[in-house]
Amino acid sequence: MTMTPTSSSSFYAPVDDAQRDAFLEGYLQFLHLRDGELDPQTGALANRESSLQAMNSSPIRYRGRLSQDDFVRLYANFDSSAPQLTPELLVLLTFCKMNAGEAYGVRVVKAIHQRRHQDDSPLNRAILFAQEEEEYHTRILVGATHHFDIQAEGAYLPKLLLKVLIHSIAYAPQPLFHPILYGAEVAGVYLFNWTLNRLGDFFQDQPELRVALEQRLIEILIDEMGHVAFNRLAMGESGRRLGQILASQTVRGFPFITPEVVALGFDRAVQRQFNRFDLSQLPEEVRQRGFFA
């Protein structure tokens, strides 16, 4: 699997209309190779089940101890000044909160979209795969607890801003659905990529653990790059311009949605850097294994 060549490293570059259908079919072929067969009853993706099982059977463990009670308390009510908040616990909470937000969003958007769209067009087949990939992201991220012998349980109550964003995607009229989702996906790529780079400052004495956590984010980034490309293929120029505006607004909203990332260093300077973010800043493995057209 390799990235489809593109003449621009921008996420917002125009699409060649003459190649749009061919690119969409290419994306579907990419999904079948990467994910395997989609079970229409359970939503399971054969290849992703295998890769997730391999991740979660890893023997790599944090050479230290995190308190289950501290995790539960800060997961429910995050406090960046809590004396129990070690750097390692902060990383784990960030993973799990990104997971929880995605879990809520995926279920809302998927339920509404499935009621609206029943046909077997290439566009809807791609949407089905993308939605199931998002389900796997929740499992990949929360699976990070495996390396720390921590259990993440209990329902997550999303903040109002996150609810507004998710419901705007779920209930948006068709002309706005892809621009809103496109903006959210580009912003998500930025956050996951920033978090991946930030991990280099942690676990320096435990490189195997750092690599294991990085690999979870890399698998998500590969999917998300394809989701950006797919939504870009589903829109015209005006949709891409709107999506670009919404992406920037979403990035500025992340500190309110997930305050853990602020404690991790996602400050105003990091948010401003989003204006210069493009494909070239993604890890080479993501660009080589992912899809973009």
Lowest mean pLDDT among 79-93, 95-109, 253-267: 95-109
Residue 182 near residue 239, CB atoms below 8 Å = yes
Of the candidates 194, 187, 195, the one whose C-alpha atom is nearest the C-alpha of residue 91 is 195
Residue 266 near residue 194, CB atoms below 8 Å = yes
Tens of pLDDT, residue by residue over 268-287, are 999 999 999 999 999 999 99
Residue 5 above 60 pLDDT? no
- The predicted model gives 224-240 an average pLDDT of 95
Lowest mean pLDDT among 94-103, 193-202, 208-217, 218-227: 94-103
Of the candidates 102, 74, 289, the one whose C-alpha atom is nearest the C-alpha of residue 187 is 102
Mean pLDDT across the chain, nearest whole number?
A: 89
77: left (phi over 0), alpha (psi -120 to 50) or beta: beta
Cα–Cα dist 104/20, whole Å: 31
Tens of pLDDT, residue by residue over 94-108, are 999 887 766 676 677
Of the candidates 25, 27, 53, the one whose C-alpha atom is nearest the C-alpha of residue 222 is 27
Residue 74 above 90 pLDDT? yes
**Phi, psi values for residue 43, rounded to 5°:** 80, 5
- The single-letter DSSP state of residue 45 is B
User: Strands, E, within 179-246: which ranges?
Assistant: none
Residue 106 near residue 134, CB atoms below 8 Å = yes
Is the overall model pTM greater than 0.85, yes or no?
A: yes
Sign of CA dihedral 264, 72, 144, 99: negative
- The predicted model gives 142-149 an average pLDDT of 95
Instruction: Compute the half-sphere exposure of residue 66: CA atoms within 13 Å on the CB side of its CA.
Output: 26
Residue 102 near residue 132, CB atoms below 8 Å = no
137: three-class secondary structure by DSSP = helix
pLDDT at 25: 95
pLDDT at 120: 78
Tens of pLDDT, residue by residue over 133-143, are 988 998 999 99
Tens of pLDDT, residue by residue over 6-47, are 557 999 999 999 999 999 999 999 999 999 999 988 989 999
Cα–Cα dist 43/145, whole Å: 24
Six token digits for residue 77:
């009510």
Residue 157 above 70 pLDDT? no
pLDDT at 257: 85
pLDDT at 176: 85
Sign of CA dihedral 257, 262, 265, 266: positive
Of the candidates 156, 222, 152, the one whose C-alpha atom is nearest the C-alpha of residue 193 is 222
pLDDT at 154: 62
Residue 2 above 50 pLDDT? no
Cα–Cα dist 198/2, whole Å: 26
115: three-class secondary structure by DSSP = helix
Report in angstroms the alpha-carbon separations of 178 from 55, 74, 113, 235, 290: 32, 35, 12, 7, 20
